[in-house]
Structure 1
Amino acid sequence: MTNANETAQRYLAVWNETDAARRRALIAESWIEAAIYVDPLMQGRGHAEIDGLVAAVQDRFPGFRFELIGEADGHGDNLRFSWGLGPAGGEALIKGTDFALLEGGRLKAVHGFLDQVPAAA
C-alpha cells in the first residue's frame, strides 16, 4: 500500500477541487472505473456518479474544505481516516470517518460514516 496519509490526502483533494475538469481528472487518477462510494446520505458507482456526489456537496457547502483529522491508518489494501468539513481556514462543522478498499493503489470502495453533523446541516 502507498502511504496512508498520501492516499487520504489525494482522496480529500477530489472533494476540494472546484474545477470540474480537474476534479474528473483526479477521480480518474485515484479511483478505479467501477469504484463505489457509500455514506448515510448518498451513494454512487463509477467516476461520473462520484463526480456528481462531490459537485452536490460543493453546491450544498460553498467555500467549505475537507481536511484530514489526525493520521490515516492503513494495512494491505485497507485505509481508514477521519476528516473535517468547514469553512476554509475555520473550524470543521461536520466530521466523519471513512473506510476505503484499494485496488492497485487506487480507490475501489469508500464507506463513509458521519461522526458529527450539526442539526442545520
Structure 2
Amino acid sequence: MKEINTFVNLYNSVWNESDAKRRREIIAELWSEDATHCTHSLEAHGHEAIEDRVLKAYEKFVVTGGYVFKTIGVADEHHKAVRYSWAMVPRDGGMAVAAGTVFMLLDDDGRIRFDYQFTDVLQAS
C-alpha cells in the first residue's frame, strides 16, 4: 500500500476529478477489480459500478452543487484497514454541508476490497 496520507489523498481526489480517464485510472489503482463500495443507500460492485457511483456524485455535488470534497484530520490504518474523515464544502469557501467517515478494508495487494462511506453530518444547503 502507498503511504497512508498519499493513499487517502488519492482516494479523496477521485470524488473531485473532472477528467473521466483520470477517474478510471485512480479507481483501477486503488480498488481491487471485485471491490465493493457501500453507503447507507447503495452498493457498487466492481470498477464499472464504482466509476458510475463516483461520476454521479461528481456531477451532483461538484458540477451542479458547487462543492468539493476534502479530507479532515489525520487518516488511520492498521491490519489492512483504513479510516479517514471527509467534508463536502462550498468550492468558494464556507461551512461544510456534509461530513463523514470512510472505512476501507484492503486486500493483500493493498488495494481497496470493501469501502464503507458514512455520512455523519448533513445540513440543508
Structure 2 length-normalised TM: 0.88
Aligned counterparts, 1:1-121, within 5 A: 1-61=1-61, 62=63, 63-90=66-93, 91-103=95-107, 104-119=109-124
CA deviation string 1:52-87 (max 9, x = no partner): 111111121123211110000000200011000122
Provide the identity percentage.
Answer: 38
**Structure 2 letter corresponding to 1:110:** D
| Deviation of 1:42 (Å) | 2.3
User: What displacement does 1:44 show?
Assistant: 0.2
Give the CA RMSD over aligned residues. Answer: 1.4
Q: Deviations over 1:28-65 (max 9, x none)?
A: 11111001100113220111101111111112112321
Detail structure 1 runs of 4+ shifted over 6 Å in the superposition. none
Distance 1:38 1:15 in 2: 15
Q: Equivalent residue of 1:16, what SS?
A: coil
* Structure 2: distance between partners of 1:105 and 1:55: 24
Question: Whole-Å Cα distance in 2 between the matches of residues 108 and 7 of structure 1?
Answer: 14
Residue-pair matches, total:
120
Aligned partners of 1:57, 1:13: CA distance in 2, in Å? 13
Displacement, 1:4? 2.1
Normalised to the residue count of structure 1, the TM-score between the two structures is: 0.91
Looking at structure 2, the residues matched to 74 and 25 of structure 1 have their Cα atoms a distance apart, in angstroms, of 23
Paired with 2:72 and 2:92, the residues of 1 have a C-alpha distance of 14
